[in-house]
Structure 1
Amino acid sequence: MNSNRITEDEVLSLVISQLVAYGYSAVAQSVADATGATTDMMPSARLSELLQIAKDKNEEEDSDDDYSGKDFDRESPREDMDVHMNVSGFDVESMRNAQPKTAPEYNQLYYTQHKGPCRTAIFSADGRFAATGSHDSSLKLLDVNKMKNRSGDAGDKPVIRTLYDHLEPVNDLSFHPNGLVLASCSNDQSIKLFDLSKTGVKRAFRYLQDAQPVNSISFHPSGDFLLAGTKDAAVRIYDVKTLQCYTNSSNADMHRGSITQIRYSNTGKIFATSSLDGTVRIWDSTTSHCIKTLDGAHGGTAVSSVRFTSNEKYLMTAGLDSTVRLWDITSGKVLMEYKGHEQRLQMLQPSFNYNEDFIMIGDESSTDVICYDTQTGALVKRIPGHNNLVRCVASSPVDNGILTCSDDYRARYFNA
């Protein structure tokens, strides 16, 4: 995510303009003559402003825990990391003949508490880290191995640090593929980018300002682009390096209501959006054109979530008709329905487990997480533990670990 290096001519121009602003016009002219720099000799304090920004950015605040940050010392994902490309374990034929599988025995290993309802969570692509976002406007960065192997040692805390930079509730999170940057979006109409490699830093090093509350975000697998869905109906696509924003300009392609969730597929060739207008749309990432619309995906009720399977053949959606559905992307037909939970009012966020054998979602009629067998649609398990509604389930990409986010202010980590 490094920006393009500033050129020598740009640096010299800034130096000369700053000298003129300080009243050293003769010195500035000498520098211009000696270097041949292109300049209009106009006074400008831009150089001092940039230096102040860099100084502020490098100041490290006290961290929540004594954490060295050494786990973030890689520049890019390991080449042998294939967690994004695990082949889906089902197809149409296997679904027709399948028998319900036994769900894992989930045990709660750790929980962390926010100062408000916990709304969203995500794991990094390598499964080593996780993050949660809250109604209290904060984020927490978590070490998964420490949650797994919680020893009770007070000095070995899974919470690496708490991040503060939003002014209103956090709605969604996305890890950059290199694992070094965490993006978050909020009702405060902004997207914040946090540099996780710097110990103790709690505030964003970069932000994207919108004119609407931002409901959902998703990094492209290359890390070069960031999707955003807002209370506006238009899709936003941000170039991460230039911060330029692109929107779909065709009214024919746009939703007719707020975008509730937006997600890239594993390869980034396509992405999907769900909306309060009751539709789901699938888009070509190259052209940004809508290539398929699922009208009335949940009987005309709002659709709260979209998730691609890892092989990009199927799409999971959840809606306010108390149903999760699995769709064949090519035909646009429903392959399976999952019923047994209640979702009438809230934008619940379900998840596949790491090998897509199971689908998990909260339940408005209880405080449990409902676990469905993906191939048969059978409700195979209820996972208790929370004291209020579970809004979001996030799954590790490498094992049976899950994070559940609840209105009881807690995010709980379970594993089998």
Structure 2
Amino acid sequence: MEEASPVSENEVLSLIISQLIAYGYSAIAQSVADATGAISDMTPSHKLLELVQLGKEKMESDGSDDEEFTADNAKLASESSSQDWAKAKGAKKTVSICFNTHLQLHILVSKTPPNYVQLYYTQHKGPCRTAAFSADGRFAATGSHDSSLKVLDVQKMKKRTGEAGDKPVIRTLYDHTAPVNDLSFHPNGLVLASCAEDQSVKLFDLSKSGVKRSFRYLQDGLPVKSISFHPSGDFLLAGTDDAAVRIYDVKTLQCFTNSKTNEMHRGPITQVRYSHTGRLFATSSADGSVRVWDGVSGQCVRCIEGAHGGGAASSVRIMRNERFVLTAGLDSTMRLWDISSGRTVIEYRGHEQASQMLQPAFTYNEDFVLIGDEASSNAFCYDTQTGALLTKISGQNNMVRCVVPSPTDNGILTCSDDYRARYFMTEFE
């Protein structure tokens, strides 16, 4: 049988454009044509659909498994949208093409870039390093290199207009003796946990007015880098400069660790996070690996070695569906991983992260991914589905170390080396 001649990139793009027009997506077809420079007569055609159907029938007759094909095309789609098409002049939307496991054509159109407006900021006496929201979105807290914490009323921040002042600050807490690394609200919203370089985890009772110091603390032998409450509030994850993750029983303060050396990290833990239900938790490490664990048994269910090209992995987040995990690392990328296969699904590029442990996050509806940038004072906003860089959030005067979203709306806090935590909302919220 004569071997089929290879199809050129322009031929493929021309077929995609004509298929879009046949489906009634003329505006999207024009965007693809403008962004890629593909030559097309813009005539409606179902030829691509027919070719896909033939390919599907051929694969079914061969008994082929298209799982690898799907993963590769998803990655290709994310790379194309975030690198090539996003750079096209005049293109208002990014379009990526991918195929699912049934070889059906899917069109991913990047969302309209959100317009974040600063409503308020609070200032510490040192760089602001971390922040957290309570589960109901009523309160927020910030932690600083100066060892202090601030608790803020979110509704009061919304009523501000960017003026300096401490009216939304309802508590300033002093009990650490070294820089604060991470914060986590108890699910009841009345207890705030903090961890610091002073090798401790502190618990503050926010229901009592005038409280400035913790009512309970956990002392470790190493600096504590990250903490996360279980959704039930019964357990607290802690990651330290040790390779083993700690799980504390909040009531008894008993500490559990996984002693299986083949499941442990080989370097300091940089971040720990429970999933939405607590069924899973995830950890990232300076050794470059990311691990996903069973939230009940504490056993490692997925290890991703070299998640960021051998560089340190600075953070980890599990999506609400518990199928994907987001990581950031010192190779200036964020990556979305399929937990079941351990494969990269989408890559996010555009920001610079070569030396600092920047902390990204999903927005409350997981439409966007936000992270700081070492090369500027901006926070970068990416489309979660396509990987396209949509906008840069300005207003800070130094590097943004941490971006934290409200769990209930489009409000976010950015924590910057300019000593400030800034509260933003989208313009039409």
Q: TM-score, normalised by structure 2?
A: 0.74
The within-5 A match list for 1:370-381 is 370-381=380-391
Deviations 1:213-266 (A, max 9, x none): 000000000000000000000110000000011111111111000000000001
Q: Given the alignment, which residue of 406, 417, 420 partners 1:407?
A: 417
Check if 1:111 corresponds to 2:114. no
Contact 2:402/2:415 (8 A) holds in 1: yes
Check if 1:258 corresponds to 2:268. yes
Cα distance in 2 between the residues matched to 1:156 and 1:212: 34
Check if 1:128 corresponds to 2:135. no
- Give the equivalent residue in structure 2 for 1:231: 241
Contact 1:95/1:376 (8 A) holds in 2: no
Cα distance in 2 between the residues matched to 1:96 and 1:235: 40
Contact 2:122/2:166 (8 A) holds in 1: no
Shift of 1:152: 8.7
Aligned-residue CA RMSD in angstroms?
Answer: 1.8
Check if 1:197 corresponds to 2:213. no
Check if 1:361 corresponds to 2:386. no
Contact 1:95/1:375 (8 A) holds in 2: no
Q: TM-score, normalised by structure 1?
A: 0.76
Equivalent position amino acid for 2:349 in 1: K
- Give the equivalent residue in structure 2 for 1:248: 258
Shift of 1:123: 0.6
Q: Could you list the runs of 4 or more consecutive aligned residues of structure 1 that deviate by over 2 angstroms after TM superposition?
A: 91-97, 151-156
Shift of 1:103: 2.0
Stretches of structure 2 that go unaligned for 5 or more consecutive residues are 1-97
Shift of 1:309: 0.7
Q: Given the alignment, which residue of 308, 315, 319 partners 2:329?
A: 319
Secondary structure at the aligned position of 1:147 is classed as: helix
Check if 1:157 corresponds to 2:170. no
- Give the equivalent residue in structure 1 for 2:309: 299
Stretches of structure 1 that go unaligned for 5 or more consecutive residues are 1-90
Q: Given the alignment, which residue of 395, 418, 429 partners 1:385?
A: 395
Cα distance in 2 between the residues matched to 1:267 and 1:373: 24
Contact 1:146/1:156 (8 A) holds in 2: no
Cα distance in 2 between the residues matched to 1:167 and 1:269: 34
Q: More relative contact order in 1 or in 2 (CA 8 Å, sep 6+)?
A: 1
The within-5 A match list for 1:1-400 is 97-150=107-160, 157-400=167-410
Percent of residue pairs identical: 72
Equivalent position amino acid for 1:275 in 2: S
Cα distance in 2 between the residues matched to 1:378 and 1:255: 32
Secondary structure at the aligned position of 1:97 is classed as: strand
- Give the equivalent residue in structure 1 for 2:78: none
Cα distance in 1 between the residues matched to 2:156 and 2:323: 35
Shift of 1:97: 2.2
Cα distance in 2 between the residues matched to 1:253 and 1:156: 46
Cα distance in 1 between the residues matched to 2:357 and 2:164: 36
Equivalent position amino acid for 2:377 in 1: T
Inter-CA distance 388–270: structure 2 relative to 1 (3 Å threshold) = same
Cα distance in 2 between the residues matched to 1:401 and 1:95: 35
Shift of 1:296: 0.6
Cα distance in 2 between the residues matched to 1:176 and 1:142: 15
Equivalent position amino acid for 2:183 in 1: L
